[in-house]
Structure formats: C-alpha cells, structure tokens
Amino acid sequence: MIRLARRYAELATTTNFSFLRGASHPEELVARAAALGLAGIGIADRNTLAGVVRAHVYARENREALGAFRVVTGARLAFVDGAPDVIVYPQDRAAYGRLSRLLSAGNRRAPKGECHLNFDELLASAEGLQAIALPFSPCGRRGRGEAATDEGLRREARLNAPSGAGAAPPTPPPPSPRGG
C-alpha cells in the first residue's frame, strides 16, 4: 500500500510589505515555512506584489536547501467600493501581467502608499487568476468607506487604542477654522 503524506501550504501570508499588517520579511517567512516542513507558501500582500519578489529571490538563491518547497505568487486585493478582500493567484505570465497592470492603475489614482481598486476592475482583469474571497472581518479593516484606506486604518487604530494607565494620550483634533 502506498501512503501519501499530507502536505500543507499556507496561502494567505502577509509580509512587512503590507503596511500596518505584516511584520516579517519575505525571506524570513520562506525560511521558517521550509524549516517547519510546509510544502510551500503563498505570499499575498495587500495590493502589492513587492513581497513575493523578495520571497522568490530568496527561494532561488537557496534552491538546494529548500528542495521541492514552492513560493506561490499572489496578492490580497482590498477594494474601496465595499467589496470583500480577495486573494488572487495568477496562473501564468499573462495573468501576472494583468494583475500588475491592475495594481499599477490603483496606485496611480491614489495618494502615495495607497492603492484604490474597485471590484469591477478585478472582474475585467480576472482571466487566468485563481481567487479566494475572504469574509468581512468584525475586527480591523471592514472593507468599506474610509477604513479601507491606510489613513482610515490609522484613524481607526487611534480610536480603538486602549485607554487608561500606560496608554498614549489621545490626539487632539485640529483646530477648527473660525471666520469672523
């Protein structure tokens, strides 16, 4: 009888290229996942492919040590139109190109450090992308309105910060302009 070992691959890994969300460098995540015996890791940073580039470089430079370990290219797309986040994985070079163009368009129309995407844009670029739809989260980013932007996240973090001993004092609101 042939027994196949079950192998696990984490497909929703966020690196430090996801502002205010991920903490570890892509190289560290790949090394740790391989050390744990995972079959692979899917790097899916928020509205960017930056982390997956470093992960692939690390995997290529350490090919002998990693063996059959795989790094899967992906991105977690967060939308400004209220749609739930979607993790997408391009299946070929053409799909990777469409995903890159989608992210570039979202970056061009947003302030520096943000990416404004609409769900309809994903649908228009979806050929060759495998997608995982994520549920809305009751904590953190809700995927709607201002909280979907990085500035909204910062504001939400300030509002939800613990109060009392040891907590940072609240930031006072800016003075209101008074005409006279």
Which long-range contacts does 59-62 make (Cβ < 8 Å, 24+ apart)? 59/30, 62/30, 62/31
pLDDT digits (tens, 9 = 90+) for 166-178: 445 454 555 555 5
Q: Is the pLDDT of residue 118 over 60?
A: yes
- pLDDT (0 to 100) of residue 18: 83
pLDDT band at residue 149, thresholds of 50, 70 and 90?
low
- Whether the CA torsion 90, 93, 99, 104 is positive or negative: it is positive
Measuring CA to CA, how many Å separate 105 from each of 48, 101, 108, 118, 165? 12, 6, 5, 11, 45
> Hey, what are 54's tokens?
């470093």
Superfamily of domain 9-147: Metal-dependent hydrolases (3.20.20.140)
Tokens of 134: 């994520």
Q: What is the pLDDT of residues 30-64, one digit of tens each?
A: 999 999 999 999 999 999 999 999 999 999 999 99
Domain limits, the chain: 9-147
pLDDT tens sequence across 77-102 = 999 998 999 999 999 999 999 999 99
Identify the three-state secondary structure at position 77: strand
| Coarse DSSP helix, strand, coil percentages of the chain, rounded to the nearest 5 percent | 35, 20, 45
pLDDT (0 to 100) of residue 4: 63
